[in-house]
Amino acid sequence: MTVLRSTHQLHLADDVVTKRFTSWGRGEAFREWRGLTLLHRFAPGIAPAPLAAALDAEPPEVTMSRIDGTPLRGTVVSRPTLRALARTLSAVHRAVPGQALAAIPTGAWHARRVDTHVRSRLARRPDGPWEPVVREALAAGERWLAGARLETVSGADAVHPVFGLTDGNIANYLYDGAQARVRLLDFEDAGRSDRAFELAEISSHLSTWVDSTFDVDFFLGLFPLTEAESARIEHLRRLNALLWLGNLLSDNGTPRRNPPGTAERQAERLLALL
């Protein structure tokens, strides 16, 4: 048995994984169990099968089947793998029927929360010893945000309700080369979402470029998006880029989990999006 520690503990056996939560005040265990059971019912094989749960225990835990695959994070994600990822995401987005989807709560992250969080963070942003490119990006982001309104990209043609992880970390996607398919992990933030938000989350996540190679334009081109959805994705990518820059600067620019220069590179990415 191997034990891995992060925000939770994973106890790995040959065919079974038990996820024991070290924090659960936001309903993480309930979302994990709900996500696994929903996909097992409507899209079996895309995620681990739910086996058992102790949701009211302290700490809560969820037991699931163990699945094969290599995390996409830290790899050069090839075009065949991107196609496999798009097939999996499209299957997930189609899987949960409207009535069942409407009955589940929104995910931990959603467009309104990101918008509110970014505006609040910029309003109380302390000054710091930032590099010139960071200052330029923050100023450009503030100018854009002053005129940007989420409501303008939230119409019926732009918001296509889906079930999603609401977490774009590509470490949560496992590529199984033997079956040429991608499977999903980590549902502790999952819930009702919309397709544009889910695709913007992945396209904007640090994991796609800090230690990986991921062709965002090719990836987005694999989905039959409406013009309104494409505009919503562009808006949400900018919001997420601002969010990530704020996260990277929250410790006065001192790198913790990311290599030196990550904030500056994120600033350049934000400027390119703007």
Q: What is the pLDDT of residues 95-117, one digit of tens each?
A: 999 999 999 999 999 999 999 99
Residue 232 predicted with pLDDT over 70: yes
Q: What does the block give as tokens for 152? A: 């303008």
- State the average pLDDT over residues 69-86: 97
Domain 1-67 sits in CATH 3.90.550.10: no
Question: Per-residue pLDDT for 4 more than 50?
Answer: no
What would the two tokens of residue 190 be? Answer: 């999952």
**Which residues, including other chains, have CB under 8 Å from residue 173's CB and lie 6 or more apart?**
71, 72, 85, 88, 182, 183, 184, 185
Q: How far is CA 60 from CA 24, 31, 32, 65, 67, in A?
A: 7, 12, 11, 17, 22
Place of tokens 């790995």: 12
Tens digits of residue pLDDT in 5-31: 467 788 888 899 999 988 888 889 999
Residues of the chain with CATH 3.30.200.20: 1-67
Q: At what angle do helices 28-42 and 79-95 cross, to 10 degrees?
A: 90
Question: What is the value of pTM for the model shown?
Answer: 0.93
pLDDT in tens, 145-184: 999 999 999 999 999 999 999 999 999 999 999 899 999 9
Q: What is the mean pLDDT of residues 28-38?
A: 96
Where exactly does CATH 3.90.1200.10 map onto the chain? 68-273
Query: Domain spanning 68-273: which CATH class is it, in words?
Result: alpha beta
